Structure formats: C-alpha cells, structure tokens
Amino acid sequence: MTGLLTRLGARIETWGGTTKMARFRNGWPATATPQVKFHRTAKVQYRFLDIGSGPTIVFTCDPPMTIEVYGPLIESFAKHFRVVVVELPAMGFSATTSDYAFGFRETNDDLATFLRDVAGEGSIFAFSCAASLAALDIAGRMPELASHLALIQAGGTEAFAIWKAGRDPKGILARPIVGQLAMARMAPRRMPQWYSLSVGRKQQIPHFCACAERSFEHGAMWSLASAYQIYMNQQDELPRPPQPILSIWGSADRSHPASNAHSLAQLYEGVETVTIDDLGHTPELEAPEEVLAAILDFAGTR
C-alpha cells in the first residue's frame, strides 16, 4: 500500500505534464529571460540557458530558484565558459510526462540524456545540493560526460538523509499524498522562511523572493515532497567517480547542519575544498565572482 500511495503522490506533481509543456513553451517561461530554450527527452522538457563559449560548465537550479536569478552568474562565468543552466525535472518550468516517477536512476539517466544532447562530453558539473548526487552518479557511470565536478553544498546519501530529517522534522513532506498536498499549499509561503535560513547575504533575500514569487505566479514547480519520498531515498553511498572533485561550501547556510560541511571530503579521497564564510546555500548566486575564482583555480582554466 505504501508503494501505491507513493506513486499516487508523485502523480499529483506530474499530472497534466503534456499540457504544462505546451504552456511553458508558449507562455511566460519562454520569454521571461532572454535566450531561454527547451529540450525534450523521453520524460522531461528541460528549460535551460546556453550562453558563452569555451569549456562547458553546467549549473543546476536549486528550487525555488529558477533561471531568472542567474543573470549575474552568467555575466561572470560567460567570460570564461560556455554556461549551461538547467532547471531539474518537475522543478521550475522543466515539466515532465505523467509517468515520470522521481526514481533515482530514472532521474539521473534522463538528466544524462539532456547533458549528452545539449552540453556534450567533458563538461564541468557545477551541481548544487541534492543534484550533487546526480553529478556523482552520472560522472561515475558515464565518465565521458564530465571533466571535473565542482559541487556546491554537496554531500553523500547519509549527509542528505541528515539534511532531509532536519528540514522535515514532523515528517509531513515524507508522507505520500499528504506531503504533495502540503507542499502545493505551503510553497509560496515557505520561500521567505527558506531564504532567511539559507541565504548568507541577507540583503539579497528580497530579490530572490520576488523572482520566486513571479515564477510561482506563472506555474513554476517545486516538487520537494516527491524528491524527499523517492529521489532522496537512495540508501547506499555512491562510488567515487574518477574526475577531480571540488567541494564549495557557504558556511552561512543554516539549512544544513555544520557536520554536513564538506562531507564529500570525508567520504572520498582527494576532494579539494573551498569554504566561503559569509555565503549561504547558493554561493554561486550570492557572489558569482568568488565562486568563479575557485572553479577557475580548480579546473586550471585561468
């Protein structure tokens, strides 16, 4: 019964996917940010940006962030890289088919198809938060897709189990159907609380909130309940991928316990670390130039 309820809960967040795809391609999400594009795979219509030239670096939007807040990052990074910024499945405006089920391997394989089709081989994966698990998995199984991993607020499966418990202490989001319905109701109201907890440079919170509110008004998704219940239910730690790994950590992020900081360096050998004290959960957005400097040094692209 639990498995059936979990599948039904996921369907709540993917229902009407084909309709959403058409609406997003032809509505506000297609015009809100210049040069935005869409790419269709078997299960997802990804919304993304692809700007600049040089080595390719791929950023994943960490919801409720959408592409709309990435302007300053692109301005900084596009001087050195071809920058791809993508919204994850059933997050932001990357609509999915109704049979997408948030599975760990299912999600990562579909994202890998996007990476192969759009970014090509040999990209730098600058994935953040739970998407770092996708980076580790894809880079390990399909090493040709990644040259380096520059992971932000990242950890292994145990670290994310700790993070998940801390963010959902009453177990509401972990409950099938109840979690999805609660998230649909709470998402717009949850943003100011989330940003006050996670952002280091507090003066940026009004801008982040305004961008997220505007995106929600136009149908942006934040399928956190299904991600909690299914995607982040991965139990085993992933093997260390062969690429060089950099862990970037904003230590003013109060959404993660201090013990999670640079947990990748505790899990794997040879992980480089950069700590930025006054930045939070999305340091690449709060201070793009500081994160750019760290990645340039790491990847040897100066």
Q: What is the CATH number of the domain that holds 30?
A: 3.40.50.1820
- From residue 199, alpha-carbon distances to 5, 59, 76 in Å are 34, 18, 20
Q: For residue 80, what pLDDT is reported?
A: 96
Q: For residue 187, what pLDDT is reported?
A: 76
Question: Which residue range forms the structural domain that includes residue 132?
Answer: 2-299
Q: For residue 2, what pLDDT is reported?
A: 55
Q: For residue 164, what pLDDT is reported?
A: 82
Alpha-carbon torsion 51, 244, 276, 268, what sign? positive
Question: Can you give the pTM of this predicted structure?
Answer: 0.95
CA atoms of 57 and 212, how far apart (whole Å): 24
State how many domains the chain has. 1
Report residues of the chain scoring pLDDT below 50: 1, 302
Q: Tens digits of per-residue pLDDT, 153-207?
A: 999 899 888 888 888 888 888 899 998 998 888 777 777 888 988 998 999 999 9
CA atoms of 292 and 79, how far apart (whole Å): 10
CA atoms of 192 and 267, how far apart (whole Å): 33
CA atoms of 276 and 280, how far apart (whole Å): 8
Q: For residue 163, what pLDDT is reported?
A: 83
